[in-house]
Amino acid sequence: MSAMETRAASPVADAFARDGFVCPITVMSTDEAAEYRRQLEAAEAAYGADKSFRKMLRRYPNLVLPFIDEITRRPEITGAVAEILGPDLLVLDAPFFIKEANTTSFVSWHQDLHYWGLETEEEVTAWVALSPATAESGCMRFVAGSQNRQVAHNDTHAEDNLLTRGQEIAVKVDESEATEAELQPGQMSLHHGRVFHASHPNRTGDRRIGLAIRYIPTRARQTEGGNMAAMLVRGEDRFGNFHPCHPPTGLMTEADVAHWTEIAGARNKVMLGGKED
């Protein structure tokens, strides 16, 4: 029995163990969420013309943008995750999933852990909304209880799919079983790395902005792709199974961008089989 199963002694952990997701959980005020969104959009205005900056939003933005590192350490978020994974937490990645207003971008049904090369299933994603995530704007949809199965996936490389390989579950998902995980800015959902999830396009006039923070306990181990890097954000690391990442020293500093290049390159090898995204 895994630690994730034995720790189910809180409402959050109980719901997570039963359904594979929990939502909505309020983790900051709407004003704080609006301030993080302002900082994101200021960074996009300053650096967005650069293709590598756009990649940084999709992989480890917490290494180069201090306000993202700050979000990943917020006690309202890490405290809820700790109820499931225990007190010592690493962030493995923290990609943004942004759907622009009235666009066709979508996310196909998938299980996260399929491609990550982790030995463990002890992984929790905290998906933090910085704008409204509603059925109309393409919020995440989950199939409760599906985390107990592991199914095959196909790489579709579909153009509008926000996933790196357009990966899609190879079995038919019954759409009527899906729960819409609607969130207001400042709320989050937590989801298990094996729960079936997907999202429709954004049919509203505002951007749908979510930060998907991937938490693992420090005892987790990588079995594929060598020793990955991860950021300690809560407690202590008594295992040293992942190379420690350094918190950013400023906004997009030269040293932090070099650190990002090294770490993101190693992770791309695992996620994309060495190909660039």
Ligand X SMILES: O=C(O)CCC(=O)C(=O)O
CB 257 within 8 A of CB 64: yes
* Min CB(180)–ligand X separation in Å: 11
R_g (Cα) of the chain, nearest Å: 17
* Min CB(55)–ligand X separation in Å: 17
Nearer to ligand X, 66 or 210 (CB): 210
- One residue of 161, 187, 199, 218 binding ligand X per CB under 6 A: 199
Q: Does 137 bind ligand X (CB under 6 A)?
A: no
- One residue of 197, 207, 234, 259 binding ligand X per CB under 6 A: 197
How far, in whole angstroms, is CA 178 from its chain's centroid?
A: 20
Element (H, E) at 273: none
Q: Does 97 bind ligand X (CB under 6 A)?
A: yes
Q: Does 115 bind ligand X (CB under 6 A)?
A: no
Rounded to whole angstroms, the Cα distance separating 115 from 128 reads 22
- One residue of 93, 112, 168, 182 binding ligand X per CB under 6 A: 112
Q: What share of the chain is helix, strand, coil (3-state, %, to 5)?
A: 30, 25, 40
* Min CB(125)–ligand X separation in Å: 5
How far, in whole angstroms, is CA 189 from its chain's centroid?
A: 10
Centre a 10 Å sphere on the Cβ of residue 132 and count the other Cβ atoms it contains. Answer: 18
- One residue of 81, 85, 91, 107 binding ligand X per CB under 6 A: 107
Q: Does 166 bind ligand X (CB under 6 A)?
A: no
